[in-house]
């Protein structure tokens, strides 16, 4: 059984499953509460429709035994909240706070209105002469832990790859580091998720995840001369 | 505790300059634009808000058409360019929050109901009240004007994040962006003036005998909302001034190249922006609370509980703002703190909903049009509330942030607030406002014609959010994962539902104006309600009452055992009760 999210968008990173797990947990808890509240609510509306000659009851709701009807559900809500908080914080910690050591690092640059990427060349290191720069196409090797260095040249952008469940705003003046590890080869959408001006809807990019052999082949045939142009 | 005061008379007389009840013809200008009567000012706010809602609704129609049928020549609009698309979504959001929800819920209902429900003849500061509306009208004119200047209206989203909003070379709206900031700032001035008035009047001008816990919840909610607004708006006004300076005189408050920080704006904006959600929510919750007690003939279940949950929500709302910024580059450790506060706000809000549901128990429920609207508010708001948990929890927000899931979630909160809450209030107090009853059949057609399409619009958008569809994208055909035909079917379904819903609003507009002429006379108290506004004429004359009422009990004494009537007006002296009992 796939998760709720996976039904609509592939999970292609190591932490996608964790995030889907939190989403599923919340869906179950709030689904239960939401449905229960709606059913009780509609049930009361039906049960207490006006009947001829029957007066409504006089209930203040301020006495202890009456308050219990509201108090106990709300203690339960509190317990559910704690469950959700613990699950959410654990996943957040793994995805955003605790960066595993990198196998490779890529630079991701948002600008009006395109994404440029700098990949390490055959030497595996960024900021060397054999770097490979591309526009609107990020090439990754499956099963590799990547750190990304996210920058913006002008306004806020947001680096979002739904298949990775990854999203991070790019802030001009800062270099933000994060990580991901692709688990599936294929080609996935990269969207800009922060309003960045007229072309905001027109800066789609693609994430291409390749096997080790494919990645080596791409690297070999790729012209590295563009790197100099992108490097500042 | 403030003393119930009769000083209002003196204040009001000073503002009006003529005795109450004195009848004389006023020119159109004096009557409709220069009035200090709280009821007239309420009408001004209400009609301006409804007019703006038509503009905001039309904008939604135009950009939804572009999303469902990219590149189409939209009837009544034309082709939607990317720049226009951005401006449409930006101003749709801005209008619906600042020029519809706020003026109608707080200013119109606040102005109309506070004096009438508290039993006084006008607001404490009538001329400040008049100034408040005039500034508000000016702000609306500035905003509408900004759509037609060179470069078009501002298109940097209603959150206006710099550097995009700060530099014309980035946003390409050299005039639209500053005018947008000016309009929003003027709107804030109007509501600061209004808020002072609401709080002061509620604290000082209550009918003799009306204690703090005899105040109807809707008034409490408007007062709490006004306090929240006044306490949160300061930082944003400061932020807006810095933004305006960045735009017009080239300062660098938000420019990283000159030592500024763009994320600063986000903090200032959301420090206001999240309490703002509760600023508009609370009055709607109050309206709904009053209406469900009247039509279930029940005392509100746990009146004090409702107030305490509102206080708790208001207080907590100041500590949740950064959940809008989980992935915006703030220190990731901060997200943990804000996840805790955000998820915890579900406790008072859930309790508020439980209390309302509990109020229905043992009632004698009449499904009139206002009651249907009030019940639909609760039904929709529960959905809006529970879907918010996905976004307040940092782990799942990584995926959902800035997707259509967020959009669907907050439309399930703001639509109940700004549309369902407003219709609840308008249909309920219409008889008092105009002295005539609205047509119930038309009212019910309008109700079902709104509530069904509303759900048909936004449920598909939850699904699109699950599919990873981001907001504010002009054309999804450019993204292979989002260009799938089944997703386009969802977009088309949502758009067609929107058109259906918009068309049904004409039923309301017709009913509204037709009933003014042809409606059944309402009499003083058509709903057999016990609060004070129903003890005077419909519509109330200048000065509201010939003789100001006194208050003897709480606002929700319905179906009291031992009484023949199933309601007990707040102004009925206990002696008269002794006779009937």
What pLDDT shows up at residue A220? Answer: 87
Average pLDDT over residues B275-302: 95
Query: Is residue B31's pLDDT more than 80?
Result: no
- Count how many domains chain A has: 2
Higher pLDDT, A156 or A60: A156
Q: Which of B399, B478, B480 sits opposite A5 (nearest CB)?
A: B399
Instruction: State how far the Cα of B474 lies from the Cα of A200, in Å rounded to an integer.
Output: 8
Do B86 and B173 form a contact (C-beta atoms < 8 A)?
no
- Chain B residues in contact with A70 (beta carbon < 8 A): 301-302, 305, 351, 354-355, 358
Confidence bin at A53 (pLDDT 50/70/90): confident
Q: What is the pLDDT of residue A230?
A: 57
pLDDT (0 to 100) of residue A52: 85
Q: Hey, is B519 helix, strand or coil?
A: coil
Domain boundary pick from A74, A97, A120: A97
- The reply to whether residue B301 touches residue A61, judged by beta carbons under 8 angstroms, is yes
Residues A69 and A121 in one domain: no
CATH code, domain with A185: 2.60.40.420
- Count the alpha carbons within 13 Å of B28 in the hemisphere toward its beta carbon: 0
Interface ipTM: 0.94
Q: Are residues A42 and A108 in the same domain?
A: no
> Which residue of A137, A154, A156, A157 is the best one to mutate when testing the B interface, meaning the one whose CB has the most B CBs within 10 A?
A156
- pLDDT by residue (tens digit) across B558-572? 999 988 888 999 999
Tens-digit pLDDT profile for residues B36-60: 899 999 999 999 999 999 999 999 9
Query: What confidence tens digit (pLDDT) does each residue in A185-216 have?
Result: 999 999 999 999 999 998 899 999 999 999 99
Mean pLDDT of B374-399: 95
- Does residue B4 lie within any of the structural domains? no
Q: For residue B576, what pLDDT band results from cuts at 50, 70 and 90? A: low
Both A168 and A198 in one domain: the answer is: yes
Spell out the alpha helix ranges (H) of A120-230: 212-221, 226-230
pLDDT at A229: 57
Q: Which of B289, B442, B465 is nearest to B374 (CA)?
A: B289
Write out pLDDT tens, residues A117-135. Answer: 999 988 888 888 888 999 9
CB pairs under 8 A between A and B: 305
Total domain count for chain B? 1
State residue B3 phi and psi, 5-degree precision. Answer: -85, 140
Residue B21 has pLDDT above 80, yes or no: no
A173 shares its domain with A209: yes
Residues A28 and A48 in one domain: yes
pLDDT at B243 over 90: yes
Render the burial of B240-252: b for 16+ CB within 10 Å, e for the rest.
Answer: bebbbebbeeebb
Q: Are residues A125 and A38 in the same domain?
A: no
Say yes or no: A128 and A227 in one domain: yes
Q: Are A111 and A221 found together in one domain?
A: yes
pTM beyond cutoff 0.90: yes
Judge: B395–A54 Cβ closer than 8 Å, yes or no. Answer: no
Check residue B498 and give its pLDDT: 97
A50, A67, A97: which is the final residue of a domain? Answer: A97
What confidence score (pLDDT) does residue A223 get? 62
- Domain range spanning residue B380? 36-580
Q: Are residues A118 and A62 in the same domain?
A: no
Task: Let me know if residue B298 belongs to a domain.
Answer: yes
**CA B198 vs CA B116, B203, B221, B322, B399: distances in Å:** 12, 9, 11, 29, 41
Please tell me the predicted confidence (pLDDT) of residue A228. Answer: 53
> What separation in angstroms does the CA of B493 have from each of A97, A180, B64, B332?
40, 36, 10, 38
pLDDT band at residue B16 under the 50/70/90 scheme: very low
Residue B357 domain-assigned (yes or no): yes
**Banded pLDDT at B233 (limits 50, 70, 90):** very high
Q: Give yes or no for residue B88 having a pLDDT over 50.
A: yes
Q: What is the per-residue pLDDT for A54?
A: 85
Is residue B316's pLDDT more than 50? yes
Q: Using a CB-CB distance cutoff of 8 angstroms, which residues of chain B are in contact with residue A175? A: none
User: Residue B246: pLDDT above 70?
Assistant: yes
Model confidence at B30: pLDDT above 90: no
Give the structural domain span for A190. 104-231
Residue pair A198/B82 in contact by the 8 Å Cβ criterion: yes
For residues A108 and A131, membership in a common domain is answered with yes
**To the nearest whole percent, how much of chain B has pLDDT over 90?**
89
User: Does the distance separating the beta carbons of A62 and B350 come in below 8 Å?
Assistant: no
What would the pLDDT profile of B436-487 be if each residue is shown by its tens digit?
999 999 999 999 999 999 999 999 999 999 999 999 999 999 999 999 999 9
Same structural domain, A111 and A176: yes
pLDDT category of residue A221 using cuts at 50, 70 and 90:
confident
By Cβ distance, the residue of B156, B299, B401 closest to A167 is B401
Mean pLDDT of B269-279: 94
Q: How far is A166 from chain B (nearest CA, A)?
A: 6
The answer to whether residues B467 and B152 touch, using CB atoms and an 8 Å cutoff, is no
Q: Per the domain annotation, does B7 fall within a domain?
A: no
In a domain, B11, yes or no: no
What average pLDDT does this structure show over B4-29? 49
pLDDT of B297-312, one tens digit each?
A: 999 999 999 999 999 9
Question: Across the interface, which of A8, A62, A163 has its CB nearest the CB of B466?
Answer: A8
Output b/e per residue, B32-52; b: 16+ Cβ within 10 A: eeebbbbbbbbbbbbebbbeb
pLDDT at residue B170 above 50? yes
Q: What percent of chain B has pLDDT over 70?
A: 94
Out of A44, A72, A97, a domain closes at A97
The verdict on A153 and A56 lying in the same domain is no
pLDDT tens digits for A8-32? 999 999 999 999 999 999 999 999 9
The answer as to whether B26 is a domain residue is no
């Amino acid at each position: 059984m796939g998760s709720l999210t996976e039904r609509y968008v592939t999970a292609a990173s190591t932490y996608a499953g964790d995030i889907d797990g939190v989403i599923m947990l919340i869906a179950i808890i709030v689904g239960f509460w939401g449905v229960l509240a709606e059913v009780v609510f509609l049930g009361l509306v039906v049960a207490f429709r006006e009947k001829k000659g029957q007066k409504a009851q006089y209930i203040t709701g301020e006495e202890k035994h009456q308050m219990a009807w509201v108090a106990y559900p709300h203690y339960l809500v509190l317990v559910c909240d704690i469950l959700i908080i613990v699950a959410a914080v654990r996943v957040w910690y793994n995805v955003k706070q605790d960066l595993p050591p990198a196998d490779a690092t890529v630079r991701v640059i948002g600008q009006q209105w395109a994404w440029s990427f700098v990949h390490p060349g055959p030497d595996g290191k960024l900021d060397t002469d054999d770097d490979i720069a591309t526009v609107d196409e990020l090439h990754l090797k499956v099963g590799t832990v990547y750190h990304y260095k996210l920058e913006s040249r002008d306004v806020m952008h947001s680096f979002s790859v739904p298949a990775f469940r990854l999203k991070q705003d790019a802030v001009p003046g800062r270099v933000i580091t994060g990580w991901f590890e692709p688990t599936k080869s294929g080609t996935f959408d990269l969207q800009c998720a922060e309003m960045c001006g007229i072309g905001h809807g027109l800066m789609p990019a693609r994430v291409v995840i390749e096997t080790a052999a494919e990645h080596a082949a791409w690297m070999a045939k790729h012209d590295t001369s563009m790197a100099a142009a992108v490097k500042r | 505790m403030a003393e119930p005061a009769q000083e209002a008379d003196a204040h009001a007389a000073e503002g009006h300059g003529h005795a109450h009840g004195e009848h004389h013809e006023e020119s159109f200008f004096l009557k409709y634009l220069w009035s200090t009567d709280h009821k007239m000012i309420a009408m001004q706010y209400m009609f301006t808000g409804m007019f703006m809602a038509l503009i905001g609704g039309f904008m939604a129609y135009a950009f939804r058409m572009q999303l469902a049928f990219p590149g189409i020549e939209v009837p009544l609009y034309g082709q939607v360019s990317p720049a226009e698309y951005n401006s449409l979504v930006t101003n749709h959001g801005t209008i619906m929050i600042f020029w519809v929800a706020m003026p109608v819920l707080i200013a119109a209902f606040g102005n109309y109901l506070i004096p009438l429900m508290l039993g006084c003849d006008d607001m404490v500061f009538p001329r400040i009240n008049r100034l408040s509306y005039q500034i508000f009208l000016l702000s609306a004119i500035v905003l509408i004007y900004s759509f037609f200047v060179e470069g078009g209206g501002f298109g940097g989203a209603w959150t206006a994040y710099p550097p995009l909003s700060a530099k014309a070379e980035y946003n390409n709206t050299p005039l639209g962006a500053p005018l947008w900031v000016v309009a929003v700032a003027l709107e804030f001035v109007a509501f600061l003036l209004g808020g002072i008035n609401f709080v002061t009047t509620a604290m000082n001008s209550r009918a003799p005998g009306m204690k703090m816990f005899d105040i109807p919840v809707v008034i409490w909610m408007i007062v709490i909302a006004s306090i929240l607004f006044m306490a949160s708006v300061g930082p944003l006004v400061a932020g807006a001034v810095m933004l305006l300076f960045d735009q017009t005189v080239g300062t660098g408050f938000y420019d990283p190249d000159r030592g500024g920080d763009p994320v600063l704006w986000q903090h200032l904006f959301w420090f206001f922006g999240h309490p703002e959600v509760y600023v508009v929510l609370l009055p709607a919750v109050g309206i709904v609370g009053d209406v469900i007690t009247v039509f279930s003939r029940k005392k509100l279940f746990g009146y004090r509980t409702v107030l305490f949950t509102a206080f708790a929500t208001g207080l907590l709302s100041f500590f949740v703002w950064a959940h809008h910024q989980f992935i915006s580059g703030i220190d990731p450790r901060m997200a943990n703190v804000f996840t805790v506060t955000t998820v915890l706000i579900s406790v008072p809000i859930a309790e508020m909903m439980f209390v309302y549901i509990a109020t229905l128990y043992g009632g004698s429920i009449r499904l009139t049009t206002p009651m249907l609207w009030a019940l639909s508010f609760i039904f929709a708001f529960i959905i809006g509330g529970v879907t918010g948990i996905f976004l307040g929890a940092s782990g799942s927000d990584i995926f959902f942030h800035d997707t259509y899931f967020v959009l669907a979630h907050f439309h399930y909160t703001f639509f109940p607030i700004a549309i369902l809450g407003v219709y609840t209030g308008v249909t309920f107090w219409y008889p008092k406002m105009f002295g005539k009853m609205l047509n119930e059949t038309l009212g019910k057609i309008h109700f079902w014609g709104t509530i069904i399409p509303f759900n048909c619009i936004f449920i598909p958008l939850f699904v699109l959010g699950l599919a990873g569809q981001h907001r504010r994208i002009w054309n999804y055909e450019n993204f292979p994962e989002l260009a799938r035909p089944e997703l386009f079917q969802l977009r088309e379904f949502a758009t067609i539902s929107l058109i259906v819903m918009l068309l049904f609003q004409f039923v309301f507009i017709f009913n509204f104006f037709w009933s003014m002429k042809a409606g059944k006379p309402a009499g003083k108290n058509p709903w057999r309600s016990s609060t004070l506004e129903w003890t005077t004429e419909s519509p109330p004359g200048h000065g509201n009452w010939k003789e100001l009422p006194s208050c003897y009990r709480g606002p929700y004494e319905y179906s009291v055992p031992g009484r023949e009537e199933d309601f007990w007006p707040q102004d009925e002296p206990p002696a008269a009760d002794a006779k009937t009992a």
